[in-house]
Amino acid sequence: MEQKDNFELTYQELSPACEAILFASGDPVSQDRLAEILNVDVKTVDEVMAKVISDYENNPWGGLLVRKIEKSYVMSTKPGMMKVLERMFSPKMHPPLSQASYETLAVIAYNQPVTRAQVEAVRGVSSDSIISRLIDRGWIEECGNLDAPGRPSLFRTTKQFLMEFGISSVDELPSMELMSYQTIRDLEESLQKAAGSDDGQITIENYMEATEAALKEGEMEDGEHN
């Protein structure tokens, strides 16, 4: 990156400077923005942040993590601090979501960007109210319109979704079993185990095929019992 001014830090000063920026921001800060503030190139930012991330992960006495979310970095609390933070923020601001909400979230996460009609094709019922709740929760957002008659809105998951579910990108989502989770904790545990997995992602088409196959298998078993 071409330097714009005479601001300069030593290499040793870059690590604490990144920590200070992330702490002061509270929100994810992009690689480009860090490079601009520190007056270095993006490659240097990534090198420094790799060390910062490792230091936080390997500190058994700390309650914080620094994580990479797509092309940004953010400071967050460790998953093990959940019980403490639940006590701090109790009563919760958001009521627990229903299984239908998690199913809708799964359809969007695995097929994004996706329209309401596509979500409803999988679930078989209207999802308007659930999609609104997921938007309010900060887990999904509108991301444009499909180039089709009526130009329906497209939805995708947000950085907030990645942060709360403990993953760096949607590529880390586990396979189909996400659809059957009963609680957020079940989902979080599976995401932690599957992070970095190369398992194939589910699509609307093969989900519907799998559902139809399961129904046919169930009908065959019922016929055998009869």
**Which CATH number characterizes residue 196's domain?**
1.10.10.10
Phi, psi of 174 (to 5 degrees): -70, 175
Q: Is residue 167 part of a domain?
A: yes
Do 70 and 133 fall within a single domain?
A: no
Q: How many domains does the chain have?
A: 2
The boundaries of the domain holding residue 59 are: 11-78
Task: Please report the pLDDT score of residue 122 as a whole number.
Answer: 76
**Both tokens of residue 9?**
């830090």
**Structure confidence by residue, pLDDT tens digits, 183-203:** 444 545 555 554 443 443 444
Mean pLDDT for 12-32 is: 93
Question: Is residue 177's pLDDT more than 80?
Answer: no
Shared-domain flag, residues 137 and 39: no
- Whether 175 and 128 map to the same domain: the answer is yes
pLDDT at 14: 95
Cα dist. 56→12, 67, 95 in Å? Answer: 16, 9, 31
The reply to whether 31 and 104 lie within a common domain is no
Residue 83 lies in a domain: no
Can you give the pLDDT at residue 204?
Answer: 44
Distance CA 11, CA 103 (A): 47
Domain-embedded: residue 182: yes
**pLDDT, tens digit, 9 for 90 and up, residues 42-80:** 999 999 999 999 999 999 899 999 999 889 999 998 888
Distance (Å, rounded) from C-alpha 62 to C-alpha 223? 59
Q: What is the pTM of this model?
A: 0.51
In terms of domains, do 72 and 132 share one?
A: no
What value does the mean pLDDT of the chain take? 77
Residues 6+ apart with CB under 8 A from 100: 123, 125, 130
For 152-167, what is each residue's pLDDT tens digit? Answer: 899 999 988 888 777 7
**Do residue 20 and residue 61 come from a single domain?**
yes
Are 115 and 154 contained in the same domain?
yes
